[in-house]
Structure 1
Amino acid sequence: GAAIDEAVERLLAGGVDTVVSVTEDRTLNWREDGGLLVPLFAREGRREEQVPIYKENGAVVALRRAVIDAPSRFGDKVGCLVLDKRAGFTVYDLEDFWMAERLLRQPRVLFRVDGSAAVGMGHVFRSLAIAEALRGLSRADIAFLMSADHPEGLVTVSRAGYAVLVVGDRKEETYLEHIRDFAPAILINDLPALERSYLTALSHLGATTVNLVDTVDDLETTEHYAQVIVSVMKQDRETPEGFYEGPEYAILREHFRGREKELREQPRLVLLSFGGSDPQGLTLKAARALQSLGPGVDVVAVAGPAFSFRREFETLSAALPRRVPLINEAGGHIAELMLEADVMVGSGGMSVYEIAALGTPGVILGQNAREDKRMRDFARHGTVEYLGLGTEVEEAALAEAVRALLADVERRRTMSARGRALVDGLGATRAAEAVLERRARPRTAEGQEAPQ
């Protein structure tokens, strides 16, 4: 296998008598001396800052012929090959045997994702949806690897009941050390961008790597190694093997599946929903713009956990002639609000797939240039009306678009039907099934997917 080949290559490169496979340990270890504990570490601190200790795991030993007849076990110069905990797991007793059996039956799944007011919360909610689907399909042991720089995402995942591994710095190697330590069978990345060096490093870890993206352009590279890519946007070009694409792979929470939609002749509710953070403060713009709607239509706003304009919105709402209630952190109730709404005014993240599954028409404003491009493509499905970048759309234009859609029940009915036909809400289950199927394929001794 690859680990054996690498050990032999290091031996042949010279400079060592033996190459031994080891597992890295950065925990705080001690030894006993005269009845007292003596630290094996230089100073206390975070685990990633400790100088590692290496433990033999017995997986690979490559040595020169002369070492066999030498008095020392491995000769004078010993090199190492570092394996992750899973690759280097060794059975010594019945407890280890129980653990090995559990590891085989219960895949370890690690999500790398972040969410905050600065970067938005859509990736966090998407990862939580596929985590729930994986739990429903398998007895997966699931954890999240997240940055301390984005506390809103940490809190949301913790409240959902998942273990969170927190990274204190932004160094790529720190993330890789945490990944090696957790030794996942499946690693799921749900980030706005993934660097080539990070993806290349993952190719040597033996895990099935899954990248959740909006388009394949979010990845700097797709050809370095076998991976699973899940994208909600269809590609008009050739895609790599292991690529699952289209609105049928829109990863939504279970609240958006199998709901009945009432299409009212006389509209009663417009919902403002600009994602978990609304970095451009478009909720305020929409609340001002829709003051001119008729008295029979209520306007209600929803703010996510990372919404940073809460105080400004409360000040604005108090000054407006028509009060716009703000619902904070609706959680699972957001699906009920979207279903009840006659029209949703929002941004172009995963919410456009959520309202499509529910059959609610939308008027959409883009938060940034990337979202602008994607929403121009998505609007061709006919489930939403896209007006452009929110910072550039005039309030009068937004008000007119919403008034026209509310007044046209046949157009709303058509948009609703197209949305339900486009997104059935089963994307998280499809993605989870695809991931588990790929992981179940024959693999090499190092955990890499074997050639078909």
Structure 2
Amino acid sequence: MNILVKLKVSKQIGTGHFRRMFNLSLFLKEFNFIFLISTDDKKNKLFQNINVIFIEDETHFRNTLLKLEFNLLIFDLLHYEKDYIKSIKLLTKMPIICFHEYNDYSDYADLIINYNVLDKTITDKLFGYEYIIFSDNIEKYKSIKKEDYIFVSFGGSDPSGLTQKFVSLIASKMSHLKFKIHIGDFNDLLCLKAFNNIEYIIKPENLFEYMSKANLAISAAGNMMYELIYMSVPSIIIAHNEHQMSFAKNAELLGYVEFLGLFKDLNFDLLKQKIDSFYNLKEIKIKDTIDNNGKKRICKVLMDLINK
């Protein structure tokens, strides 16, 4: 059976949508996943070893849909234009699943998933942390021994340019602390200045290892925030944009993270203070709110759709 996945991966959007769908494809090994990707970096190593068709524009995408045989179509997009899914439904009778970050939902989707929304009064959509898609590799790092450093990452592309600002205004000024700073696959920063207390992590084989061993993490409010929570890493969160801000506020209300606000309003002096006061905290004990069964729950509903 074929599952088509439509994605956009770019320096502005980042890599989180792709990683989420890639993790789902590894879990559903009995299906043939075909990734239909719009990107500004076709040669990126992120796309190696997957079945991918690079999409040039919307016409190309629709023509590709008409040519391929498939059993399910998944969209994982940052934004959905009004009536977009309705127009796709005119092209195919196959079921459609839409992953969302905003509330731009369509009644024409057969299933809607947004695990950032915690509203349990809505029952016709899959909302809540129980539908988070983690990599199975994360299980190896839940109870790993901590080391004396701070892990920093602002996502696969860092659209706000926070990495460079953090190095110049924070990490380079706090020489008493060791920082391991992740440079994502779609981040162009390759010539950051060297400092004795900073190690740059560029396209590592195993990012979870660096994340899990940290005494403290500083991160954006994307998928990595949930991974840090799951691995019990105390985290200070900075949002790239308004919708990430709502995700971070939810996590802070549950006591999982310390949220410092939007990057454009960031008080770097306050961030320094938070790092110094937060660094020696004992690890946060995760409650039962987040587990690693999201893929299983989604798979059950997905199979019901296919077998209708």
Q: TM-score of the superposition, structure 1-length normalised?
A: 0.63
Superposed, 1:349-428 pairs within 5 Å as 349-409=222-282, 413=283, 416-418=284-286, 421-428=288-295
Match of 1:289 in 2: 170
State the partner residue of 1:342: 215
Counterpart of 2:170 in 1: which secondary structure? helix
Give yes or no for contact 1:230–1:245 (8 Å, CA) kept in 2.
yes
Aligned partners of 1:260 and 1:239: how far apart in 2?
Answer: 31
Query: How far does the alpha carbon of each residue in 1:263-309 deviate from its partner, in whole angstroms, 9 at most, with x for none?
Result: 76xx61100111100111212222231345463x4211011110023
- 1:190-231 CA distance string (max 9 Å, x none): 11012233201232311121111235x043x2x2x3511121
CA deviation string 1:167-186 (max 9, x = no partner): 223x3x43222112113211
2:47 to 145, 158, 164: 158
1:129 corresponds to: 23
Aligned to 2:182: 302
Q: Which residue is equivalent to 2:202?
A: 328
2:157 equivalent among 274, 277, 280: 277
User: How far, CA to CA, are the matches of 1:334 and 1:201 in structure 2?
Assistant: 39
How many residues in Structure 1 have an aligned counterpart in Structure 2? Answer: 306
Matches within 5 A, 1:421-436: 421-436=288-303
Identity of aligned residues (%): 20
Q: CA RMSD in A?
A: 2.2
SS at match of 1:114: strand
Contact 1:214/1:233 (8 A) holds in 2: yes
CA distance in 1, matches of 2:155, 2:299: 24
Q: 1:88-167 residue pairs with structure 2 within 5 A?
A: 107-135=1-29, 139-147=30-38, 149-151=39-41, 155-159=44-48, 161-167=49-55
2-structure distance, mates of 1:291, 1:335: 24
Contact residue 343 and residue 406 of structure 1 kept, 8 A: yes
Could you say if the C-alpha distance between residues 385 and 370 of structure 1 is closer, same or farther in structure 2, counting changes exceeding 3 Å? same
Matches within 5 A, 1:70-89: none
Verify the 8 A CA contact 1:269 1:298 in the aligned structure 2. yes
Cα deviation, residue 238, structure 1: 4.9
Could you report, residue by residue, the CA deviation over 1:339-396 in whole angstroms, capped at 9, with x for unpaired residues?
1011110101001111111111110111112212322223212111000012321221
The 1:422–1:235 alpha-carbon spacing in structure 2 relative to 1, beyond 3 Å, is closer
> Does structure 2 retain, via aligned residues, the 8 Å contact 1:253–1:428?
no
| Paired position in structure 1 for 2:84 | 198
| Greater relative CO, 1 or 2 (CA 8 Å, sep 6+) | 2
Does the CA contact (< 8 Å) of 1:286 and 1:398 recur in 2? Answer: no
Structure 1 unaligned residues grouped into runs of 5+: 1-106, 442-452
Q: Normalized per residue, which structure has more helix?
A: 1
> Where has structure 1 moved over 4 Å in runs of 4 or more?
none
Three-state SS of the structure 2 residue aligned to 1:308 is: coil
TM-score normalised per structure 2: 0.91
In the other structure, the counterpart of 2:67 is 181
Structure 2 alignment gaps of length 5 or more: none
Shift of residue 335, structure 1, vs aligned partner: 0.8
